[in-house]
Amino acid sequence: MSDRPAKDKLFDAFASVAKVLGSGRRAEIVDVLAQGERPVDEIAEEIGQSIANTSQHLQQLLRAGLVRTRREGTRIHYRLSGTAVTRLWAAVREVASEHVAELDELAEAYLGDRAALDSLTRTELTNRMAAGDVVVLDVRPEREFRSGHIPGAVSVPVGELAGRMKDLPHGRIIVAYCRGQYCVFADEAVRTLREQGMPAVRLEEGYPEWAEAGLPVEAGAPRKSGAPG
Amino acid sequence: MSDRPAKDKLFDAFASVAKVLGSGRRAEIVDVLAQGERPVDEIAEEIGQSIANTSQHLQQLLRAGLVRTRREGTRIHYRLSGTAVTRLWAAVREVASEHVAELDELAEAYLGDRAALDSLTRTELTNRMAAGDVVVLDVRPEREFRSGHIPGAVSVPVGELAGRMKDLPHGRIIVAYCRGQYCVFADEAVRTLREQGMPAVRLEEGYPEWAEAGLPVEAGAPRKSGAPG
DNA sequence: GTGGTATTCAAGTGAATACTTGAATACGAC
DNA sequence: GTCGTATTCAAGTATTCACTTGAATACCAC
Question: Can you spell out the DSSP letters for chain A?
Answer: ---HHHHHHHHHHHHHHHHHT-SHHHHHHHHHHTT--EEHHHHHHHHT--HHHHHHHHHHHHHTTSEEEEEETTEEEEEES-HHHHHHHHHHHHHHHHH-TTHHHHHHHHH---TT--EE-HHHHHHHHHHT-EEEEE-S-HHHHHT-B-TT-EE--GGGHHHHGGGSPSSSEEEEE-S-TT-SHHHHHHHHHHHTT--EEEESS-HHHHHHTT---B-S----TT---
Q: What is the mean pLDDT of chain B?
A: 92
- Is A191 found in the same domain as A113? yes
What ipTM does the predicted assembly reach? 0.92
Rounded distance in angstroms from the CA atom of residue B50 to the C1' atom of nucleotide C20: 9
Q: Flag whether B140 is in a domain.
A: yes
**Where in the sequence is the domain holding B31, given as residue range(s)?**
4-86
pLDDT at B220: 75
- Is B48 found in the same domain as B139? no
pLDDT at A222: 59
- Is B129 found in the same domain as B77? no
What total of structural domains would you count in chain B?
2
Q: Flag whether B100 is in a domain.
A: no
Q: Flag whether A131 is in a domain.
A: yes
Q: Flag whether B102 is in a domain.
A: no
- Is B115 found in the same domain as B58? no
- Using 50 as the pLDDT threshold, list the residues of chain A that sit under it: 223-229
Rounded distance in angstroms from the CA atom of residue A37 to the C1' atom of nucleotide C3: 29
Query: What are A176-196's pLDDT values in tens digits?
Result: 999 999 999 999 999 999 999
Query: What are B89-106's pLDDT values in tens digits?
Result: 999 999 999 999 999 999
- Is B131 found in the same domain as B166? yes
Q: Which residue of B has its CA nearest to A13?
A: B103
pLDDT at B7: 96
Amino acid at B224: K
Q: Flag whether A69 is in a domain.
A: yes
Which CATH number goes with the domain that contains B132?
3.40.250.10
- Is B115 found in the same domain as B73? no
- Is B122 found in the same domain as B28? no
- Is A197 found in the same domain as A167? yes
Q: Flag whether B82 is in a domain.
A: yes
Q: Which of residues 95-134 of B touch A (CB under 8 A)?
A: 95-96, 98-103, 106-107, 109-110
In a mutational test of the A interface, the residue from B7, B8, B17, B80 whose CB has the highest number of chain A CBs within 10 Å is: B17
- Is A126 found in the same domain as A77? no
Rounded distance in angstroms from the CA atom of residue A25 to the C1' atom of nucleotide D20: 16
Nucleic strand C near CB of residue A59 (< 7 Å): yes
- Is A112 found in the same domain as A63? no
> What nucleotide is nearest A74 when CA is compared to C1'?
D27
Q: Is B183 a catalytic residue?
A: no
Closest protein CA to C1' of nucleotide D4, residue: B74
Q: Which residue of B has its CA nearest to A87?
A: B91
Does the structure show a pLDDT above 80 at B223? no
- Is A188 found in the same domain as A113? yes
Q: Flag whether B167 is in a domain.
A: yes
- Is B112 found in the same domain as B76? no
**% of chain A residues with pLDDT over 90:** 86
Which CATH number goes with the domain that contains A64?
1.10.10.10
Q: Flag whether B196 is in a domain.
A: yes
Does the structure show a pLDDT above 90 at B210? yes
Number of H helices, E strands in chain B: 10, 8
pLDDT at A17: 98
pLDDT at B221: 62
